[in-house]
Amino acid sequence: MQTWSLGSVTITRVEEQIGFAHMPPERYFRGFDRELFNRHLSWLAPNHYDPITDRVVSSVHSWIIRAGATTILLDACAGNHKPRSWTPRFNQLDTPYLARLRAAGCSPEDIDIVLCTHLHADHVGWNTMLRDGRWVPTFPNAKYLFSKTDDAYWDPGRNAAMVSDPRSAVYTDSILPVVQAGQATLVEDGYRLSSQLAVFATPGHTPGHVSLKFEDAHARAIFCGDVIHHPIQIYAPHWNHMADERPEVAGPTRHDLLGACAETGALLFPTHFGSPHVVRITGVAGVGFAGEFIPPIGT
């Protein structure tokens, strides 16, 4: 189990799956430049890119943040038994995610807060699980935090465009049961989980995407969800991911977030980076940004 200690919190990665994108980089990234990509091959392979198949590595994991007596689960991966015909990687999975959660020292009952950075299928799936033919909240004692803007965008009951979108199934099986159970809280920019942890708006990948920042006297971190999908985007923040819903906003948001990390020294905790998953960002005069991977405790 991989854990990072940062100021007054500990952060543990819980893996659902790690593998390769199902398309070459030219399709995975909008604006992809093969020449720029090739200049970074010395460090991209093998943890972030496989030259044989020409596919980038993509992890799907949650972060467990232990802050005093509060245990937070950030992003809930794809979940088991969810019908996702439009995205085979997440369709009808059967993974040992909950066993890995328990191996990290957490039962579902131990989670106090679930924060979903956005409402795409691979960030909300374990919000619910199938029990006696019904989708019920997986974390019975948790308060679930959803972006107010994303909730309105993805809810087919409020956004007519979602009625004919197959992705509306994600809202039906992974968000609505939480709302109906009375466990959902809709949040906006500035919502505070504690004096050290605050939600802030990072739109672009979805209209209401949010990130989480941690600050105490000794350390800072940003949990960025899908603002950035792959470490090559540190060097090419203008490359958008193919699933960015608002590409004209996603690039500037990504650039600003990397700039904030470089300026404040906040470690970046993304959701899809390959090993070792966590990055320190530095500014490079006249160039942009660079990254230094930060290994977990004990490595």
Q: What is the DSSP pairing of strand 197-201 with strand 210-215? A: antiparallel
Residue-wise pLDDT tens digits, 158-189: 999 999 999 999 999 999 999 999 999 999 99
Residue-wise pLDDT tens digits, 27-60: 999 999 999 999 999 999 999 999 999 999 999 9
| pTM of the shown model | 0.96
219 part of a folded domain = yes
Residue 286, pLDDT > 80, answer no
Average pLDDT score over residue span 222-250 = 98
The pLDDT mean for the chain works out to: 97
Residue 218 has a pLDDT of: 87
227 part of a folded domain = yes
Query: Is 220:267 a contact under the CB 8 Å cutoff?
Result: yes
Among residues of the chain, what percentage have pLDDT more than 90? 97
Residue-wise pLDDT tens digits, 66-83: 999 999 999 999 999 999
Query: Is 80:95 a contact under the CB 8 Å cutoff?
Result: yes
The CATH number of residue 276's host domain is 3.60.15.10
Residue 79 has a pLDDT of: 98
Average pLDDT score over residue span 242-252 = 97
Residue 1 has a pLDDT of: 83
211 Cβ partners below 8 Å, 6+ apart?
117, 199, 200, 202, 222, 223, 224, 225, 227, 257
Count of domains forming the chain: 1
Residue-wise pLDDT tens digits, 81-137: 999 999 999 999 999 999 999 999 999 999 999 999 999 999 999 999 999 999 999
Residue-wise pLDDT tens digits, 204-218: 999 999 999 999 988
298 part of a folded domain = no
209 part of a folded domain = yes
Count CA atoms within 13 Å of residue 164 on its CB side. Answer: 2
299 part of a folded domain = no
222 Cβ partners below 8 Å, 6+ apart?
211, 212, 213, 214, 257, 260, 261, 266, 267, 268, 269
Residue 298, pLDDT > 90, answer no
Average pLDDT score over residue span 292-296 = 96
Residue 216 has a pLDDT of: 94
Structural domain of residue 142, as residue ranges?
Answer: 2-293
